[in-house]
């Protein structure tokens, strides 16, 4: 593979790490980049998960240092998310995510409409609608499975779930989301490694970009908070929805 291609993949990893740290949706950049580089879909999803884990790890550590998460309260979420992600990754190794590809854009579109019509959503903490353990059971298993099986938009779904059901503001929800993203990344990577689906040369180049992008993006969230997250969140969700719908119509 030519050095120019590696350079472009590094840039894709950097951009994705930056966007992921703020609002999720970095797969919008990296998955098409991996497909462009010639990887089959299952290999692209697995390699994408490998490289994105590095940016997610940096962002998670930054949010933890800034006090945006309490790891003791996230134990049940980590457990259920890991179980869900393992199941999703095993399903990916056996099949393909065609069904989810048709459903997910409409769910994302619903989130865009909800956030647009409720500009105060996630602006400040609110009373929770679900207990933390029940929330982690339902969200961890479902979103963990989705992230292990397909992935695009997982951060968006997690952030919105944390705002709606746990009553977190968007900044705290972003910190919570990074922990769960990292959990599902690591759990699914273990299955992908066993299945031999990760392209390491490409994954490592993109991971280096992710490290830089994750640090830059998390730093902006910590300093600027909800004022930055909401517009980026909406923009990423709109573009991700459009991309997935376009892919459907192009088939």
Q: Is 60 exceeded by the pLDDT of residue 96? A: yes
d(CA 42, CA 220): 33
Kindly report, residue by residue over 21-36, the tens digit of the pLDDT. Answer: 776 667 777 877 888 8
Q: Is 70 exceeded by the pLDDT of residue 161? A: yes
* 3-state SS assignment for residue 161: helix
Confidence of residue 84 (pLDDT cuts 50, 70, 90): very high
d(CA 157, CA 174): 11
Q: Is 60 exceeded by the pLDDT of residue 222? A: yes
- DSSP for 90-116 reads HHHHHS--HHHHHHHHHHHHHHHHHHH
- The pLDDT score that the predictor gives to residue 233 is 65
What is the average pLDDT across 160-165?
Answer: 90
For the chain, give the mean pLDDT.
82
Kindly report, residue by residue over 194-213, the tens digit of the pLDDT. Answer: 889 899 999 999 999 989 98
What is the average pLDDT across 215-243?
Answer: 72
Helix, strand, coil share of the chain (percent; to 5): 80, 0, 20
pTM flag (> 0.75): yes
d(CA 177, CA 28): 17
Confidence of residue 104 (pLDDT cuts 50, 70, 90): low
CB 52 within 8 A of CB 209: no
Confidence of residue 99 (pLDDT cuts 50, 70, 90): low
- The pLDDT score that the predictor gives to residue 67 is 82
Q: What are phi and psi of 146, to 5 degrees?
A: -60, -45
Distances (CA, A) of 2 to 16, 34, 144: 21, 14, 35
Q: Is 90 exceeded by the pLDDT of residue 1? A: no
Confidence of residue 246 (pLDDT cuts 50, 70, 90): confident
Distances (CA, A) of 51 to 72, 83, 139, 211, 227: 27, 21, 24, 9, 28
Name, in order, each residue with C-beta under 8 angstroms of 103's C-beta and a sequence gap of 6 or more. none
What is the average pLDDT across 65-77?
Answer: 85
- The pLDDT score that the predictor gives to residue 36 is 81
Confidence of residue 95 (pLDDT cuts 50, 70, 90): low
From the list 114, 98, 223, the residue with the least C-alpha distance to 150 is 98
d(CA 113, CA 198): 36
Confidence of residue 79 (pLDDT cuts 50, 70, 90): very high
CB 205 within 8 A of CB 13: yes
């Amino acid at each position: 593979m030519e050095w120019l291609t590696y350079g472009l993949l590094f840039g894709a990893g950097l951009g994705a790490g930056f966007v992921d740290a703020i609002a999720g949706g970095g797969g919008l950049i990296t998955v098409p980049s991996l497909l462009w580089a010639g990887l089959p879909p299952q290999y692209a999803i697995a390699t994408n998960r490998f490289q994105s884990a590095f940016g997610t790890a940096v962002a998670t550590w930054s949010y933890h240092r800034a006090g945006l998460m309490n790891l003791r309260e996230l134990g049940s979420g980590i457990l259920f998310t890991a179980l869900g992600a393992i199941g999703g990754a095993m399903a990916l190794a056996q099949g393909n995510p065609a069904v989810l590809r048709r459903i997910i854009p409409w769910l994302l579109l619903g989130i865009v409409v909800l956030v647009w019509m409720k500009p105060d959503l996630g602006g400040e903490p609110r009373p929770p609608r679900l207990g933390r353990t029940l929330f982690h059971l339902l969200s961890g298993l479902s979103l963990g499975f989705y992230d292990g099986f397909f992935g695009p938009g997982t951060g968006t779904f997690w952030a919105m779930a944390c705002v709606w059901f746990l009553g977190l503001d968007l900044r705290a929800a972003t910190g919570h989301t990074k922990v769960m993203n990292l959990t599902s990344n690591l759990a699914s990577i273990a299955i992908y490694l066993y299945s031999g689906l990760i392209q390491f040369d490409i994954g490592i180049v993109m991971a280096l970009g992710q490290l830089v992008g994750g640090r830059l993006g998390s730093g902006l969230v910590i300093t600027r908070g909800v004022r930055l997250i909401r517009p980026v969140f909406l923009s990423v969700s709109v573009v991700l929805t459009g991309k997935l719908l376009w892919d459907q119509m192009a088939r």
